[in-house]
């Protein structure tokens, strides 16, 4: 549960001596393994018996159609994860290898949370309705007050299981997060927290409709596309809300979503924030938590943010649509191998009969490069309903007609044509039939705008050209984010809008605890001119996400044509190095020789594409060039030589 307050583990090139790397040639036991007391690795695949091609029925101990050969870098993280979790919850055996975390003092732990001690006076505890890894949940009935007679759910967490300071802090943080976030229609309502000498009692809304996993099984193992959309919209809505507040759930799975009633149209509620944590937009977490089938690759690499939740949502979407998991194996190591190296299969039934939008939606969430995944806000959709939002569009904004490139012919359409376009929608087209979704502010916009205003004028010009290659749907998402920032009557926003209109209106205690508010204050304090919608598009565009789309090369080629007309000019290598902020330790003539055309001294297409990326990518290219030249400069030093 929660954040490991240990020192970050440095990456090593040496394989640990005790790392075991299973291969397909090694025998696989056929007996059903027992559940781990600390980590839910061994829950059965949803209804494997109904699907003869399900990975659950396969004798292969990895994702189907994927063969792994020895040696397999990086080594299996399974043993390290088990040891980390055992250490975290105070169950390390004397002969178990320890994780190099900061030492934990387990003597005289303070287990007083400051909660009310009147639980017995207020509630009558009923039967157990569920059991987790760190406690159990019972139904209960209120005894007094305005809620007298009301049925509630009570999560009981024994203090005897809180054997480390981290475990205690996890419980404290779970209650704080639930208290701060309660109120969203798709998040279980928190009522109060109590304690006595033996337990902590977390009183919440009682959801009587069962788990999403049970509902999947009752429908024959999978949902129809239309029904799956209803579920995904609710999941994305609550996750987008959490991410805006700086909260990452870290254990999203069908078991952690409950229906309020048995009704088919019952609302869905997210539960179990025991593993959740705070994270700033520019922060990376390093502790490995979650459920094996749903854990993102970057979590296993111990460097992740809110994008890890989006991977988990992609796994849920895959299960909803086809009834089996995208990554499956008989062992923990096999699961993690598949997550790190295998690709989910979209060749077997029922995928060939599904819409291309449904497949694209899942693929864009299960991209192993977290920077290319959709955010929760981007995945949601909202119809354009008219109003005064038209004035934020530039008079003749470039875009690709019918979402395809027409050679090198560019089409400019007047404002009225854009507003009347059937593509004038937000988010992913698979969710285009849902109209009652409120699109929240997307914190990724803050990161992108911050990087933009700190970029060189040449990169700003390149991003401006790229923004003019966007489709109407892509522009509409940015228009919605621009509107949420509260532009003035002239259609401009200042950097102060990122604080006043952006986060203060949506602020909760969770946003303060996660220091997301501090990040917004930092962005709003940057001295920069006011942004109109056209420049905002250039600032808030995600190059990495565009790279993850099949149309990326078309976007880049069109953008380069526009850049050639408006922004390209002859430039010396030394001037380009200065524009990029490359320091004297960088061999600029080696790094940048392909960036400039020899014929006229202007930026080449390769240089243009590299310029679009952030300085970390430029620094990586510089480091590779330094290795070729025999430079002893480290990658960290090379990145430090690039001014942010």
Mean predicted confidence (pLDDT) in 614-629: 53
Position 593 pLDDT exceeds 50: yes
Q: What is the pLDDT of residue 33?
A: 43
Position 205 pLDDT exceeds 90: yes
d(CA 13, CA 373): 28
Enumerate the CATH 1.10.238.10 domain ranges in the chain, comma separated. Answer: 387-424+441-546
Position 393 pLDDT exceeds 60: no
Low-confidence winner among 190-204, 271-285, 377-391, 629-643 (lowest mean pLDDT)? 629-643
Q: Is the preceding peptide bond at 626 cis, omega within 30 degrees of 0?
A: no
Q: What is the pLDDT of residue 276?
A: 96
Enumerate the CATH 3.30.200.20 domain ranges in the chain, comma separated. Answer: 119-205
Enumerate the CATH 1.10.510.10 domain ranges in the chain, comma separated. Answer: 212-373
| Closest by CA position to 417, among listed 446, 396, 442 | 396
pLDDT band for position 566 (50/70/90)? confident
Q: Summarize pLDDT for 307-344 with one digit per residue, the tens.
A: 999 999 999 999 999 999 999 999 989 999 999 999 99
Report helix, strand or coil for 248. strand
Low-confidence winner among 109-113, 324-328, 415-419 (lowest mean pLDDT)? 415-419
Q: Summarize pLDDT for 444-462 with one digit per residue, the tens.
A: 999 999 999 999 889 999 9
Q: What is the pLDDT of residue 502?
A: 73
Position 506 pLDDT exceeds 90: no
Q: Is 148 annotated as a binding residue?
A: no
Q: What is the pLDDT of residue 273?
A: 95
Told to judge if 251 belongs to the known catalytic residues of this protein, a careful annotator would answer: yes
d(CA 58, CA 53): 8
Q: Summarize pLDDT for 244-295 with one digit per residue, the tens.
A: 999 999 999 999 999 999 999 999 999 999 999 999 998 999 999 999 999 9
Position 66 pLDDT exceeds 60: no
Q: Summarize pLDDT for 230-239 with one digit per residue, the tens.
A: 999 999 999 9
DSSP state of 176: H
Mean predicted confidence (pLDDT) in 61-81: 46
d(CA 209, CA 265): 10
Higher pLDDT, 541 or 644: 541
Q: Is the preceding peptide bond at 575 cis, omega within 30 degrees of 0?
A: no
d(CA 233, CA 316): 12
Q: What is the CATH superfamily name and number for domain 119-205?
A: Phosphorylase Kinase; domain 1 (3.30.200.20)
| Site of tokens 């999978």 | 222
The whole model's pTM is what? 0.78
d(CA 182, CA 621): 46
| Closest by CA position to 77, among listed 342, 334, 343 | 334
Class of domain 212-373: mainly alpha
Q: What is the CATH superfamily name and number for domain 387-424+441-546?
A: EF-hand (1.10.238.10)
Position 472 pLDDT exceeds 90: no
Q: Summarize pLDDT for 25-36 with one digit per residue, the tens.
A: 444 444 444 444
Q: What is the pLDDT of residue 260?
A: 97
| Closest by CA position to 475, among listed 550, 339, 378, 611 | 378
pLDDT band for position 586 (50/70/90)? confident
The percentage of residues in the chain with a pLDDT greater than 70, rounded to a whole number, is 71
β-bridge mates for residue 268, sequence order: 259
Higher pLDDT, 147 or 193: 193
Most confident of 87-101, 132-146, 310-324, 427-441: 310-324
Higher pLDDT, 306 or 282: 306
Angle at 518 between CA 514 and CA 522, to 5 degrees: 145
Q: What is the pLDDT of residue 427?
A: 62
User: How many residues are present in the chain?
Assistant: 644
The active-site residue, picked from 251, 277, 287, 614, is 251
| Closest by CA position to 612, among listed 517, 549, 546, 548 | 546
Q: What is the pLDDT of residue 620?
A: 56
């Amino acid at each position: 549960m929660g954040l490991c307050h240990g020192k970050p583990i440095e990456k090593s090139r040496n394989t640990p001596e005790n790392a075991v790397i299973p291969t397909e040639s090694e025998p696989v036991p056929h007996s059903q393994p027992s559940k781990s007391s600390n980590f839910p690795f061994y829950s059965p695949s949803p209804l494997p018996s109904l699907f003869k091609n399900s990975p659950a029925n396969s004798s292969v101990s990895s994702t189907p159609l994927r063969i792994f050969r020895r040696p397999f870098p990086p080594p299996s993280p399974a043993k390290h994860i088990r040891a980390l979790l055992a250490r975290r919850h105070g169950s390390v055996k004397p002969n178990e290898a320890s994780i190099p975390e900061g030492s934990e003092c387990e003597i005289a732990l303070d287990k007083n949370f400051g909660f009310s001690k009147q639980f017995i006076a207020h509630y009558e505890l009923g039967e157990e309705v569920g059991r987790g890894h760190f406690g159990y949940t019972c139904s209960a009935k209120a005894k007094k007050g305005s809620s007298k007679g009301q049925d509630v759910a009570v999560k009981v967490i024994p203090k005897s299981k809180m054997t480390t300071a981290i475990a205690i802090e996890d419980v404290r943080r779970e209650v704080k997060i639930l208290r701060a976030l309660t109120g969203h229609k798709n998040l279980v309502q928190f009522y109060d927290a109590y304690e006595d000498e033996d337990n902590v009692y977390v009183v919440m809304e009682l959801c009587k409709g069962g788990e999403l996993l049970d509902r999947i099984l009752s429908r024959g193992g999978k949902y129809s596309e239309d029904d799956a959309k209803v579920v995904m919209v609710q999941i994305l809505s609550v996750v987008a809300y959490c991410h805006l507040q700086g909260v990452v759930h870290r254990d999203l799975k069908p078991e952690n979503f409950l229906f309020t009633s048995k009704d088919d149209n019952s609302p869905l509620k997210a539960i179990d924030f025991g593993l959740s944590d705070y994270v700033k937009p520019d922060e990376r977490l390093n502790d490995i938590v979650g459920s094996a089938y749903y854990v993102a690759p970057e979590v296993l690499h111990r460097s992740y943010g809110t994008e890890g939740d989006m991977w988990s949502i992609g796994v849920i979407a895959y299960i909803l649509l086809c009834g089996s998991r995208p990554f499956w194996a008989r062992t923990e190591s096999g699961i993690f191998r598949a997550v790190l190296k295998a690709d989910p299969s979209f060749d077997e039934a029922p995928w060939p009969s599904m819409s291309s939008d449904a497949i694209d939606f899942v693929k864009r969430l299960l991209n192993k490069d977290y920077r290319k995944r959709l955010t929760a806000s981007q995945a949601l959709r909202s119809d354009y309903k008219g109003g005064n939002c038209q004035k934020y569009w530039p008079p003749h904004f470039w875009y690709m007609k019918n979402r395809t490139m027409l050679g090198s012919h560019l089409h400019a359409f007047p404002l009225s044509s854009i507003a009347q376009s059937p593509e004038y929608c937000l988010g992913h087209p698979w969710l285009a039939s849902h109209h009652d979704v409120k699109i929240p502010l997307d914190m990724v916009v803050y990161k992108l705008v911050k990087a933009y205003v700190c970029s060189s004028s040449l990169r700003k010009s390149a991003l401006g050209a790229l923004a003019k290659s966007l489709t109407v749907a892509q522009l509409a998402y940015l228009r919605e984010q621009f509107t949420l920032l509260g532009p003035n009557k002239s259609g401009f926003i200042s950097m102060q809008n990122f604080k006043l209109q952006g986060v203060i209106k949506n602020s909760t205690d969770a946003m303060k605890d996660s220091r997301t508010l501090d990040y917004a204050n930092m962005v709003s304090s940057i001295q920069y001119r006011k942004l109109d919608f056209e420049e905002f598009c250039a600032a808030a565009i995600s190059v990495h996400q565009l790279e993850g789309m099949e149309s990326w090369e078309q976007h880049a080629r069109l953008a380069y044509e526009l850049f050639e007309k408006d922004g390209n000019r002859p430039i010396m290598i030394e001037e380009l190095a200065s524009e990029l902020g490359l320091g004297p330790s960088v061999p600029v003539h080696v790094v940048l020789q392909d960036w400039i055309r020899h014929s006229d001294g202007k930026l080449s297409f390769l240089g243009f594409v590299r310029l679009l990326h952030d300085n970390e990518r430029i620094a990586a290219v510089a480091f590779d060039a330094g290795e070729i030249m025999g430079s002893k400069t480290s990658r960290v030093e090379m990145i430090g030589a690039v001014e942010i």
